[in-house]
Chain A
């Protein structure tokens, strides 16, 4: 069988719908099938990434209709990097969530179906070359994300889910409106074709379309002031879902904004706009994180803040900055993933997920606490952990463009991060033990494995960043090569 990007979408989508059937045969299939699917996708990732680095972008036509009429998938070094990252995070989260919280087969079935759909949607967003198709995938992500947010059938879960849905519905309305305007003005939905023809649209209309898209996808990408859903959703969703949001769903929204700015539209001022919005997002989020009493909510705000910094990186726009941005995305996925996964065990039995309930847990849950602390060290950018390098790259890119104020703000924010993360670490390790030993939940073996994978990765990249830098460099080149993107999709296929 030839490995192609279509497998990314077809396999998990198919699996999502056959899981209920297999569940009739054996209950364990519910949990095993997603793992098999994700392992297969990881294999696909490895094969395709190798192929991309040797032969260049892979453009796959669906159903025989050549672009710009048909739908195509583009697996470039850039989109491939993100797709592989999402697959990897999916796999790690699957390992972690295997028998998470001993949930019954029935909810587990729903969880895995939704989870696979989330991954399908997110990878689809990244790979597709058609803007309406992208919209559809966004809705797939959306619907599964709303449901996953309110996965626990409790009061706050429903509330968070509803808020997410409300804003998500807004997003889809705006995006659809944008698509309508775009289609009515240039009559195409293929992204490469749009990129080619976008100069034909009158500037005013083009900017309006761009704004509609940015606001729509900004909701998914947690841009301030569109991110009201995020803290609630992160804090109420089950731990693995929080990790999936920060590692998978948000990345997809961010990807679209990057594509809009770098490839689709050529709008003056959009880079500065991204920098400013990123800074505002970061500042507000980090400042809000400072005084949180709820651990998950604190992580949520921190996550928003990180995405703001990613926006800043892509707003700078040089090759170095893009590398920094991608590195930040990678780090955000693995580090925030680790933080969400480990914090789930830290606040396992506390419904309010209070930071104060962590007192002295370092003695009761040594490994989980250690991994959480490792994640915290990494996310505030202390060397020799991976977070340091991405921040260094970002600062160097900013310094190259002489954006001194930007460097200063990013570093001040880093100090704020130190304050609130170290407050939690202090609570974990240097406070008297409050909880009784039978009140804490020991992590299951698979949870330990998945968190350890992330932890080892953080240290490995921190000590030897060259593990990933070449991929990042290729991805950045692919993103900057707009002409190459258009050519790959439109010319190569037609010939």
Chain B
């Protein structure tokens, strides 16, 4: 079975789902009124970006970028380790932001008794 034939489909589907995630996230942030949905949207867009980043670092047929006794000295293609490291960091950051966002949402709901963003605008002009 020719694995390369599916490679393109995999690549396309990875990129495609990354972009789809970003767009869905944007849609949620810009259109949905519920604060929770907006936060979910942010997380989705983040996830899409992370996926995109990992996909860029991926090389055809590459292995995990770990130096182990079995690969030292051999001519092995490894995927680019940098994006993976960065994405790990970015995921952590995204997690922290989401946590802060949710805590703010809770407080907003307490004070306003609503989670609709268009009703929370006592600060304006």
Contact = CB atoms under 8 A, between A and B. Distances in A.
Q: Do chains A and B touch in the complex (CB under 8 A)?
A: yes
Interface stretch (A177-185, A194-202, A269-277, A384-392): A177-185
Contacts of A172: 93, 97
Contacts of B49: 173, 176-177, 180
B96 interface: yes
A155 B125 contact: no
Contacts of B105: 162
Contacts of A231: 123
Contact of A147 (B22, B35, B53, B100): B100
SS class, residues of chain A in contact with chain B:
helix
Given A183-B82, A288-B125, A158 B104 contact: yes
Contact of A143 (B29, B35, B89, B97): B97
A159 B120 contact: yes
A86 interface: no
Contacts, number: 85
A362 interface: no
A139 B56 contact: no
B35 A162 contact: yes
B33 interface: no
A156 B112 CA distance: 10
B9 interface: no
B75 interface: no
A193 interface: no
A154 B104 contact: no
A45 interface: no
A161 to B, nearest CB: 5
Interface residues of A, number: 38
Contact of A180 (B52, B104, B111): B52
A158 B96 contact: no
Interface string B32-46: 000100100010011
A168 B35 CA distance: 15
A183 B83 contact: yes
Contacts of A179: 86
A355 B23 CA distance: 44
Interface residues on B, range: 20 to 34
Contacts of A153: 107
B122 A176 contact: no
A142 B52 CA distance: 23
A44 interface: no
A155 B100 contact: no
A160 B29 contact: no
A125 to B, nearest CB: 14
Contacts of B100: 143, 146-147, 165
Nearest to B48: A173
Interface in A87-144: 132, 135-136, 139, 142-143
Nearest to B97: A169
B122 A173 contact: no
A173 B30 CA distance: 14
Interface in B66-107: 82-83, 86, 89-90, 93, 96-97, 100-101, 104-105, 107
A172 B43 CA distance: 12
A235 interface: yes
B20 interface: no
A65 to B, nearest CB: 12
B39 to A, nearest CB: 9
B14 interface: no
B89 A180 contact: no
B24 interface: no
A150 B104 contact: yes
Contacts of A288: 125
Contacts of B46: 169, 173
Interface of A: 132, 135-136, 139, 142-143, 146-147, 150, 153-156, 158-163, 165-166, 168-170, 172-173, 176-177, 179-180, 183-184, 189, 231-232, 235-236, 288
Closest 9 A/B residue pairs (Cβ):
A155-B111, A158-B107, A232-B123, A139-B93, A162-B104, A184-B56, A169-B42, A158-B108, A180-B53
14 contacts: A146-B104, A155-B112, A155-B122, A159-B120, A160-B123, A165-B101, A165-B104, A166-B29, A166-B42, A172-B97, A173-B45, A177-B52, A236-B123, A288-B125
Given A169-B42, A172-B97, 10 more contacts: A139-B93, A139-B96, A143-B96, A155-B111, A155-B112, A162-B120, A166-B38, A177-B52, A180-B53, A183-B56
